Chain A
Amino acid sequence: MKFAIVVFPGSNSDHDAYYATRHVLGEDAEFVWHKDTGLGGADVVVLPGGFAHGDYLRTGAIARFSPVMQEVKRFAAAGGPVLGICNGFQVLLEAGLLPGAMLRNRSVKFVCQQVHVRVEQTDTPFTSACAAGQVLRMPIAHGEGNYYADPDVLADLEANRQVIFRYTTADGRVTDDANPNGSAHNIAGLCSRSRNVVGLMPHPERACELAVGSADGLVLFESAVQFVSQGAFAAAPHA
Chain B
Amino acid sequence: MMERAVLERHGLAPDEYQRILEMLGREPTMTELGIFSVMWSEHCSYKSSRVHLRTLPTTGKRVLQGPGENAGAVDIGDGLAAVFKIESHNHPSFIEPYQGAATGVGGIIRDIFTMGARPIALLNSLRFGPLDLPLVRRTFEGVVAGIAGYGNSIGIPTVGGEIGFDESYTGNPLVNVFCLGISRADEIIKGTASGVGNAVYYVGAKTGRDGIHGATMASAEFDEKSAEKRPAVQVGDPFMEKLLLEACLEVMKTDALVGIQDMGAAGLSCSTCEMGSRGGAGVEIDVSLVPQRETGMTPYEIMLSESQERMLLVVKQGREGEVERIFDKWDLHAVRIGVVTTDGRMRVKDRGDVVADIPNGALTDQAPVYRRPMTEPAYLSAVRQLSLVSLGVPPPVAEVFARLLASPGIASKRWVYRQYDHMVRTNTLVVPGMGAGVVRVKGTNRALALSADCNARFVYLDPYAGAELAVAEAARNVACAGAQPIGATNCLNFGNPERPEIMWQFARAVEGMGAACRALDLPITGGNVSLYNETDGRAILPTPVLGVVGLIENADRVVRRAFQAEGDVIVLLGDSRAELGGSEYLKVIHGLIRGVPPALDLAKEVALQQVLVEGAAAGLIRSAHDCAEGGLAVTLAESCFETGLGATIDLNSVPVDASYMKEVATLFSESASRVVVSVSADRVSDLFALAGTHGVPVTRVGLVGGTGIRIAIDGMTAIDTLLVDAERIWSTAIERHFEASRAMA
Q: Return B161 CB to nearest CB of chain A, in Å.
A: 14
Contacts of B431 in A (CB 8 A): 213
Q: How far is the CA of A113 from the CA of B240 in the complex (A)?
A: 27
Q: How far is the CA of A9 from the CA of B148 in the complex (A)?
A: 19
Knowing A53-B239, A56-B239, the reply to whether A141 touches B427 (Cβ < 8 A) is no
Q: How far is the CA of A143 from the CA of B237 in the complex (A)?
A: 17
Which residues B419-471 have CB closer than 8 A to chain A? 419-429, 431, 440, 442
Whether A12 pairs with B154 at a CB distance below 8 angstroms is: yes
Q: How far is the CA of A121 from the CA of B613 in the complex (A)?
A: 48
Give 1 or 0 for each of B227-248: 1 = CB within 8 Å of chain A CB. Answer: 0000000000111101100000
Q: How far is the CA of A20 from the CA of B329 in the complex (A)?
A: 26
Contacts of A139 in B (CB 8 A): 423
Q: How far is the CA of A212 from the CA of B330 in the complex (A)?
A: 31
Q: How far is the CA of A205 from the CA of B427 in the complex (A)?
A: 12
Contacts of B149 in A (CB 8 A): 110
Q: Of A16, A111, A211, which one neighbours B425 at CB under 8 angstroms?
A: A16
Which residues B138-195 have CB closer than 8 A to chain A? 145, 148-149, 152-155
Q: Return A115 CB to nearest CB of chain B, in Å.
A: 12
Whether B426 pairs with A205 at a CB distance below 8 angstroms is: yes
Which range contains the number of A residues in contact with the other chain? 20 to 34
Whether A112 pairs with B153 at a CB distance below 8 angstroms is: no
Whether A112 pairs with B242 at a CB distance below 8 angstroms is: no
Give 1 or 0 for each of A40-69: 1 = CB within 8 Å of chain B CB. Answer: 000000000111011110000000000000
Knowing A9-B331, A19-B426, A20-B426, the reply to whether A109 touches B145 (Cβ < 8 A) is yes
Across the two chains, which residue of chain A brings its CB closest to B152? A110
Across the two chains, which residue of chain B brings its CB closest to A12? B155
CB of B348 closer than 8 Å to a CB of A: no
CB of B555 closer than 8 Å to a CB of A: yes
Whether B155 pairs with A13 at a CB distance below 8 angstroms is: yes
Q: Return B542 CB to nearest CB of chain A, in Å.
A: 33
Which residues B115-159 have CB closer than 8 A to chain A? 145, 148-149, 152-155
Whether B238 pairs with A9 at a CB distance below 8 angstroms is: no
Knowing A12-B154, A51-B239, A54-B238, the reply to whether A112 touches B426 (Cβ < 8 A) is no
Interface centre among B149, B419, B440, B556 (most CB of A within 10 A): B419
Knowing A110-B421, A141-B423, the reply to whether A12 touches B242 (Cβ < 8 A) is yes
Q: Return B649 CB to nearest CB of chain A, in Å.
A: 29
Whether B426 pairs with A9 at a CB distance below 8 angstroms is: no
Q: How far is the CA of A193 from the CA of B425 in the complex (A)?
A: 32
Q: How far is the CA of A55 from the CA of B155 in the complex (A)?
A: 13
Knowing A13-B155, A19-B442, A54-B239, the reply to whether A212 touches B419 (Cβ < 8 A) is no
Whether B419 pairs with A16 at a CB distance below 8 angstroms is: no
Across the two chains, which residue of chain A brings its CB closest to B558? A211
Give 1 or 0 for each of A105-128: 1 = CB within 8 Å of chain B CB. Answer: 000011111000000000000000
Whether B426 pairs with A10 at a CB distance below 8 angstroms is: no
Q: Of B148, B154, B426, which one neighbours A16 at CB under 8 angstroms?
A: B426
CB of A161 closer than 8 Å to a CB of B: no
Contacts of B420 in A (CB 8 A): 110, 112
Knowing A9-B239, A20-B426, the reply to whether A51 touches B153 (Cβ < 8 A) is yes
Contacts of A211 in B (CB 8 A): 429, 440, 555-556
Whether B423 pairs with A112 at a CB distance below 8 angstroms is: yes
Whether B148 pairs with A110 at a CB distance below 8 angstroms is: yes
Q: Return B563 CB to nearest CB of chain A, in Å.
A: 18
Contacts of A213 in B (CB 8 A): 423, 428, 431
Q: Return B722 CB to nearest CB of chain A, in Å.
A: 21
Interface centre among B237, B238, B239 (most CB of A within 10 A): B239
CB of A166 closer than 8 Å to a CB of B: no
Q: Of A20, A141, A203, which one neighbours B152 at CB under 8 angstroms?
A: A141
Whether A12 pairs with B424 at a CB distance below 8 angstroms is: yes
CB of B418 closer than 8 Å to a CB of A: yes
CB of A15 closer than 8 Å to a CB of B: yes
Across the two chains, which residue of chain A brings its CB closest to B417? A112
Give 27 CB contacts A-B under 8 Å: A9-B239, A9-B242, A9-B243, A10-B239, A10-B243, A12-B155, A15-B425, A33-B329, A54-B153, A55-B239, A109-B145, A109-B148, A110-B152, A110-B419, A112-B417, A112-B418, A112-B419, A112-B423, A113-B418, A141-B424, A143-B152, A203-B423, A206-B423, A209-B426, A211-B440, A211-B556, A213-B431
Closest 4 CB pairs of A and B: A12-B155, A54-B239, A141-B421, A51-B153
Binding site for B on A (CB under 8 A): 9-10, 12-13, 15-16, 19-20, 33, 49-51, 53-56, 109-113, 139, 141, 143, 203, 205-206, 208-209, 211-213
